Amino acid sequence: MKSLLGGILLLFTALVVQGATLYAQMPNDPPDGALPSQLWFDPTGKNNLDSDAIAYAAFTLTETATVTHVEWWGQSVTQGAAPPATSNGFFIGFYNQDPGTVALQPDLPQLHGGQPLAYELVVNFTQTSAGNGMSRFSADLATPVALAAGTRYFLSIADSMPVAFQTWGWAQIPAPGGNTFYYQYGGPSYSSNTSGMAFILGNAALAAVNPADCLFNWAESYYSALFVPAGSASVTMAPYYYRYYPGTQSYLGTSSADGHVYYLGPASNNALTDVGPISGLLATAGCQ
């Protein structure tokens, strides 16, 4: 029980996103595994390499929303180093599920002529050390991407490499993952990869909703087993503002008496448990 609540608090305090979080797959701390995902930038525009590869991470939103911000983890790179630079930026793309199959597969141009929902080269991004030679990257999208709830989509992130055969690895999440489609130019060309990729999707505008509700939504997304059904109505009973989840007979709420977040349910042996100050949790969850 203590380790579970500690994990909840660790995830709260580890997440720093601009605006509200829509979806997240978190790596270990520090990240400890990566899957190659890079494309060589050929100045002539005529060639690619067998080492070129792209990972496509499947995800499904619980609510219809617009993505304006992406964060991801991967091997550290250096912007603007000369000569040579180790990155031209990151190709970030969003794709529909391939309508011709129920298998985990994005609707790619090279397969059945599908087109990405959005695709851009991101050159303005922040990079901070995450340990183990990994970095955490953060960028705002030039064009927001509108996505529907309950629909499988795919996110691709590939480093644009100016040097032939140089690779970059997208950090993986702890097993089980099993939600990644993988394209390797040198073959086998297409495969389903058991890795899950580490990333966060966010939207700054959604932080305008009630901050406590934003926090509840966030918790429901990452600890779905604790809070069933998600999206339960919020109730005020002074000093508490809370949600009750009949499926798991649990409560998640805030207290105006001390400004803290509280949990009560099977994971705490039905004891009211202080998770931490709401001010810090709202900030780290992007709900302010």
Region of residue 204 (left: phi > 0; alpha: psi -120 to 50; beta: else): alpha
Q: How far are the Cα atoms of 2, 67, 96, 248, 258 from residue 274, in angstroms, in the given order?
A: 12, 32, 41, 19, 10
pLDDT along the chain (288 residues), means of 10: 42 42 86 86 69 91 90 76 62 95 87 86 90 90 93 94 83 80 79 85 68 85 85 86 93 92 93 89 68
Instruction: For domain 31-203, give the fold.
Output: Jelly Rolls (2.60.120)
In degrees, rounded to 5, the angle at the alpha carbon of residue 19 between the alpha carbons of residues 236 and 242 is 15
- In this prediction, residue 86 carries a pLDDT of 60
Alpha carbons within 13 angstroms on the beta-carbon side of residue 214 total 26
Going by their DSSP bridges, the two strands 273-277 and 260-264 should be labelled as antiparallel
User: Which residues, listed in sequence order, are joined to residue 71 by a DSSP beta bridge?
Assistant: 138, 200
- In this prediction, residue 45 carries a pLDDT of 66
Residue linked to tokens 């949790």: 281
- In this prediction, residue 176 carries a pLDDT of 66
Rounded CA separation 98/140 (Å) = 27
Residue linked to tokens 């608090």: 9
Rounded CA separation 212/224 (Å) = 17
What does the domain layout of the chain look like in residue ranges? 31-203, 209-284
- In this prediction, residue 38 carries a pLDDT of 86
pTM to 2 decimals? 0.65
Question: What are the pLDDT digits (tens) for 79-129?
Answer: 544 444 467 899 999 999 999 888 899 998 877 778 899 999 999 998 888
Asked if 20 and 209 count as a contact pair (C-beta separation under 8 A), the reply is yes
Largest separation between any pair of C-alpha atoms in the chain: 67
Q: Could you say which architecture CATH assigns to the domain 209-284?
A: 2-Layer Sandwich (3.30)
